[in-house]
């Protein structure tokens, strides 16, 4: 039996925290975009369709956000965002305008790689000690370069692989869109925006961002990063031009990552929808495969798995059908509820009760708890955590904290 009140209470608390402690890339500090923002109002939304060279500001910012989410798959969010900002500033000072002219990155590949190495070294000096303390590790292991493997993301020392795959692939998308426009004798000041918003919903767009036969980024981007792009594009920076339900604050899934998985599991949220045995069968919980021999939580394996704990004839289920049909727009009438979409259902329910929460609020709340309190070791800051009164790992079952890692 689902404790619906618990689920709503924890969703509400996380969303409140997300609104207060917004996890936003520091784009206003990127020198090429300094005129896009003002100190009083932030991003100048009424000027987004003004030209900056050949393209609109909206399209240039969309390109930056795309590279940002691909890099954001790394192990240290603060460091990754600082790295992107510093590299962009340094390249633009040398007239290598990678978001206005993506081909510049490849024409000056030697400079691009040298800049990446130089800025990574400076970030490591600044961030390694804090990162090691938060992750129960050592500073020497700090590395923001990563590659795709059969086991997921792994650190790499091959900077060429990292540079071409993680930077080059997302920079190629607007370049290819521009080339396709030229070949068809068409023009647009916002080719990436046009492509992004050509899909029926932000959720469909997030899927196509990875899987589209011609324009998909493939292994360069993960599901989490695709949904992070949707979150930033729709809800955080509000770059979206479309006004329909498919491009609203509940029209994309939560960008599930290790922080989100750790918080949702330890609090007992995930156990409302399926049993521990279910999660083991789905390979979400991998027994004994975590650091130090504890159990490993691979939250991305939740996607596509369904809960049988909400009856298909209930009013709650009808709300879910509405979300899938009119907001996510991802197919036929569902027979069961997919677990990764339950936050959408809960946020939609709160909206019906008069609360103005979004998937972005919920995710930022997870990020706040995961990076400030719910550390990935057996000694998190539970006594200081804003979720402590709701968290079942803290109030009922300490093993949810001590025996699981992400």
Q: What DSSP line would sit under 170-219, residue for residue?
A: HHHHHHHHHHHHHHTT---S-HHHHHHTTSSSHHHHHHHHHH-TTT--GG
23 has pLDDT over 90: no
pLDDT, position 26: 86
What average pLDDT does the segment 373-381 reach?
90
Contact 122, 86 (CB under 8 A): yes
The confidence score (pLDDT) of residue 150 equals 46
The H helix count followed by the E strand count for the chain is 17, 11
pLDDT value at residue 71? 93
Burial degree of 140 (CB within 10 A; 0-12, 13-18, 19+)? exposed
Residues 6 or more apart in contact with residue 175 via CB below 8 angstroms: 102, 103
pTM value > 0.85? yes
Strands (E), 53-151: 55-56, 146-149
Q: pLDDT-derived band of residue 72, with 50, 70 and 90 as boundaries?
A: confident
Alpha carbon of 322 to those of 86, 230, 319, 332, 360: distances in Å?
A: 43, 20, 5, 11, 20
pLDDT score recorded for residue 120: 95
What's the average model confidence in pLDDT over 351-365?
96
Average pLDDT over residues 309-324: 94
Mean pLDDT of the 323-341 span: 95
Q: What are phi and psi of 148, to 5 degrees?
A: -90, 140
pLDDT beyond 80 at 154: no
Identify the bridge partners of residue 149 per DSSP, sorted by sequence position. Answer: 152
Radius of gyration of the CA atoms of the chain, in A? 21
pLDDT, average across residues 357-367: 97
Measure the CA angle with vertex 155, ends 279 and 289; round to 5°: 30
pLDDT confidence of residue 321: 97
Q: Please give the average per-residue pLDDT across 320-340, as a whole number.
A: 95
In this structure, are residues 191 and 59 in contact, taking their beta carbons and an 8 Å threshold? Answer: yes
Specify whether the CB–CB gap between 165 and 196 falls below 8 A: no
Does position 365 have pLDDT exceeding 70, yes or no? yes
**Average pLDDT over the chain, rounded to an integer:** 94
Q: Please report, to the nearest 10 degrees, the dihedral formed by the alpha carbons of residues 217, 220, 226, 231 taken in order.
A: -120
Of all helices (H) and strands (E), which one includes residue 153? Answer: strand 152-155
In degrees and rounded to multiples of 5, residue 79 shows phi and psi of -65, -40
* Percent of residues, the chain, with pLDDT higher than 90: 87
Over 70: is that where the pLDDT of 145 sits? Answer: yes
State the DSSP string of 346-387.
HHHHHHHTT----HHHHHHHHHHHHHHTS-SSS---GGG-TT
Dist CA 70 CA 210 (whole Å): 11
pLDDT at 360 over 50: yes
- pLDDT tens-place string over residues 194-230: 999 999 999 999 999 999 999 999 999 999 999 999 9
């Amino acid at each position: 039996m689902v404790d619906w009140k618990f689920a709503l209470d924890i969703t509400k608390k996380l969303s409140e925290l997300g609104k207060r402690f917004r996890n936003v890339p520091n784009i206003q500090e990127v020198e090429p975009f300094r005129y896009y923002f003002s100190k009083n109002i932030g991003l100048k939304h009424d000027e987004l369709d003004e030209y900056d060279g050949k393209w609109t500001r909206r399209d240039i910012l969309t390109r930056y956000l795309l590279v940002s989410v691909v890099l954001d798959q790394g192990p240290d969010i603060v460091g990754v965002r600082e790295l992107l900002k510093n590299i962009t500033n340094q390249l633009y000072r040398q007239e290598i305008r990678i978001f206005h002219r993506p081909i510049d990155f490849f024409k000056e590949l030697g400079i691009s790689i040298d800049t990446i190495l130089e800025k990574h070294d400076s970030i490591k000096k600044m961030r390694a000690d804090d990162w090691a303390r938060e992750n129960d590790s050592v500073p020497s292991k700090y590395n923001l370069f990563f590659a795709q493997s059969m086991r997921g993301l792994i650190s790499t020392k091959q900077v060429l692989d990292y540079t071409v795959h993680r930077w080059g692939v997302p920079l190629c998308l607007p370049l290819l869109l521009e080339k396709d426009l030229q070949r068809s004798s068409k023009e647009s000041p916002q080719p990436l925006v046009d492509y992004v918003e050509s899909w029926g919903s932000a959720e469909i767009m997030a899927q196509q961002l990875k899987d589209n036969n011609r324009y998909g980024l493939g292994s360069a981007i993960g599901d989490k990063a695709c949904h992070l792009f949707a979150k930033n594009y729709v809800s955080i920076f509000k770059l979206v031009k479309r006004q329909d339900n498919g491009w609203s604050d509940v029209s994309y899934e939560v960008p599930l990552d290790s922080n989100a998985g750790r918080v949702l599991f330890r609090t007992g949220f995930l156990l409302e929808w399926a049993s521990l045995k279910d999660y083991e069968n789905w390979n979400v919980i991998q027994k004994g495969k975590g650091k130090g021999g504890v159990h490993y939580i691979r939250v991305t394996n939740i996607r596509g798995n369904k809960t049988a704990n909400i009856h298909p004839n209930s009013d709650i289920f009808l709300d879910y059908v509405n979300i899938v049909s009119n907001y996510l727009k991802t197919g036929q009438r569902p027979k069961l509820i997919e677990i990764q979409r339950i936050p959408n259902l809960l946020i939609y329910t709160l909206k019906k009760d008069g609360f103005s929460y979004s998937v972005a609020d919920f995710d930022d709340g997870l990020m706040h708890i995961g990076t400030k309190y719910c550390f990935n070791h057996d000694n998190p800051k539970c006594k200081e955590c804003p979720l402590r009164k709701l968290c079942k790992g803290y109030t009922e079952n300490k093993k949810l904290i001590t025996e699981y890692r992400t």
